[in-house]
Amino acid sequence: MMAFSLFFSNSMCSPRKAFADLLSDEEEIQELRTKNSKTYQLSNGSFKCVVSADSIHYMNSDGEYEDIDSSIIEETTQQQYRYRNTANSWNVFFSDYLVNQDAVKIQNADTSIAFSIQGGNNQYSVQKAEVLSECELDYYSEISKDDRAVVYQNVFDNVDVVYSARTGVVKEDIILKDGSSQNTFDFAINLDGVVAIQDQNGIAFLDSHNHEVFQFGKLYMIDANGKYSEDVTADLHCEDGRFFVRIIANESFLKDVNTVYPVVIDPTITITGASNTYDTCVDEQYPSSNYYTSVNLWTGGKTSNNTMRTYIKFDIPSSVSNCISSATLKLKKNAYAAPGIKAYRVTSSWTSSTVTWNNKPSFTTSGATSTCSVYSGDWYQINVKTMVEDWKSGTYSNYGFLLKEPSETNADQKTRWYSSDASSPNKPELVINYVGISCWYSDSNLIGRRTNSPTLWYSKLNSNPSFMFVTGMTHAESQWESALGISINSASSATSSSLKYYGGTKAEIDALGLFPSVPTNNLGLTQYSYSQWGTISYNGSTKTVMIMSSTTGYIVDRSDMGTNNYKKTCTHEFGHALGWIGHPSPSQPTWVMQQGILENTVLAENEKKHLLQAY
């Protein structure tokens, strides 16, 4: 596309307002919060959206999103409880001993479930899981770093019970420290505002409208070497009007000589609808197992042997524009091999709580990303810009990423990552930088940017000492460099530069034959090419964002112009060249971009702010 911007003369003057809302480096725009994302405006005017595969906000009673904080704190109002989770739409409370009546209570609005263990001892009072840090064992060393967890030690001989408050679940780990531990556990349950129903999926707790409020899902157990079994049952029964749940772990798994202790039995209570954690891994060795509440994700291994792959999906907020400058998936490695994974586009839908190796969704190798690279420390990054752009534009549906080693040929090439169920700040993130519009001061619906650092070449066509063309260009360059925070480099020839300007009389410019004939009262002109990057809707109108390419312009040598007029004219034309399309609206006579002949050489704050949005 080709366009022209002309600069004519007239005159006016008025004082300018200060730019009150200059932004700090990175400021969160709270109105743009979604359940799983935060958006920041950067000092250059562009936006950064950080998306999680898990919920990071809950809605408070005023209908505003607040940060979820699952870390354990002291409970101060209910005397019977010692600890609670900090902030969420629901709460979990822990009393001193697991044998106490209603020892653990999960409260969701006006419903709750509370339970206590039957027949256990009260040797140790509840503690934050950090007390387990002395222990060498992998399970204990992991859980001791989790500030969302509490532990009841030695509830039975050689049995600890750990609870952790996650975004949308309370996880219970019954830890059997050796083969002498018992395999049957009874819990007494008190219900308030809900009834319990057992079906093939587990136990559901329904409110008076028959809506599920809590769910006690399928159980599994796992030994210290990762040996996995779903041979754990949970049975609901009623005695004298009270509910009990009996958990039985398969004895032959526990007594097996190949079982390595500790064994963790893993019941999870889901607070229905509180979160939609969208990551999990699938495991060829355990092809019917699902790991959606695991704090780990895995990749690597060998085909037909022990392959593991990770599925992860991010709901991208509608406020992210189509003009995406970068999209990066960030993942933190937890242990084992240095990864060489790529991200692939998943091509059908899946649910994190049910996906397994056997029913895993398909993916395409076409358009796979480059291999991940180290971002910082244990954090790895993958450039996923093209995939995110395709999802935003609707070219493909967003079914998430498949993360895997490109050639699954090495059984030892396995990497353990932190999942969205891990504690902060270890969770995976999708970071999208994009251009958005938060203000508009132009009479045109177009705005442009230069994606590469612009290079400038200019030529004064005569030796008239009062024609301050070079002074004007130098001034223009420094005005826009500081306004946009970019550097404009000088090019050594016209052909190697992206911006070319000629300065001369009307006759000298006409003689170049590069432009249409210069109008008699013209001061300057900028002629640019562009390609469309995307559109952004703002205040009910559509703004088109363009990527500016080759640009040629001129400044006219006129006997009625002084130095400041040339500075102003050059700054004006240079604005067009960099992407400021149109002229100020409403009319702002003191502005450089205005069609005035005022000797106002400095960019107004709104002029800077307008174009900065595209950079």
Question: Is position 528 an interface residue for Zn ion (rule: CB under 5 A)?
Answer: no
* Phi and psi at residue 203, to the nearest 5°: -115, 125
Residue 398 CB, nearest distance to Zn ion (Å)? 41
Query: Binding Zn ion by CB under 5 A: which of 2, 5, 75, 182?
Result: 5
Of 275 and 594, nearer to Zn ion (C-beta) is 594
Residues 6+ apart with CB under 8 A from 536: 321, 322, 323, 435, 436, 437, 542, 543, 545
* Binding flag, residue 442, Zn ion (CB under 5 A): no
Encoded tokens for 372? 């991940």
563-578 vs 605-612: helix crossing angle, rounded to 10:
20
Binding of residue 441 to Zn ion (CB under 5 A): no
| 291 makes contact with Zn ion (CB under 5 A) | no
Q: If binding is defined by CB under 5 A, does position 140 make contact with Zn ion?
A: no
Task: Work out how close the CB of 582 gets to Zn ion at its nearest, in angstroms, rounded to a whole number.
Answer: 8
Least distance between Zn ion and beta carbon 596 (Å):
11
Of the candidates 126, 103, 23, 176, the one whose C-alpha atom is nearest the C-alpha of residue 608 is: 23
Q: Taking contact as CB under 5 A, which single stretch among the options 4-12, 242-250, 267-275, 502-510 is the one that binds Zn ion?
A: 4-12
CB of 551 to Zn ion, least distance (A): 13
> Cβ contacts of residue 248 below 8 Å, gap of 6+?
183, 184, 185, 232, 233, 235
Least distance from C-beta 553 to Zn ion, angstroms?
A: 10
Peptide bond into 589 cis (omega under 30): no
Using the minimum distance from each CB to Zn ion, give the nearer residue, 140 or 528.
528
Residue whose CB is less far from Zn ion, 7 or 292: 7
Residue 245 per-residue DSSP state: E
Among 1, 3, 4, 7, binds Zn ion (CB under 5 A): 7
Q: Which is nearer to Zn ion, 27 or 443 (CB)?
A: 443
CB of 5 to Zn ion, least distance (A): 4
Helix (H) or strand (E) holding 385: helix 385-393
User: Minimum Å distance from CB 569 to Zn ion?
Assistant: 9
Look up residue 150 and give its two tokens.
């509490």
- Closest-approach residue to Zn ion (CB): 5
Eight-class DSSP state of 132: G
How many Å apart are CA 463 and CA 10, to the nearest integer? 28
Hey, what's the torsion of the CAs at 269, 275, 276, 280, to 10 degrees?
A: -50
Draw the binding track, 226-265, toward Zn ion (x: CB under 5 A; -: no contact): ----------------------------------------
Residue 5 vs 229, nearer CB to Zn ion: 5
Measured CA angle at 366 (ends 407, 451), to 5 deg: 110
Shortest reach from residue 510's CB to Zn ion, in Å: 20
> Cα 228 from chain centroid?
32
Does position 522 bind Zn ion by CB under 5 A? no
Compare residues 5 and 112 and give the one whose CB is closer to Zn ion. 5
Q: Does the footprint of Zn ion cover residue 497 (CB under 5 A)?
A: no
Residues lying near Zn ion in the complex (CB under 5 A) are found at: 5, 7
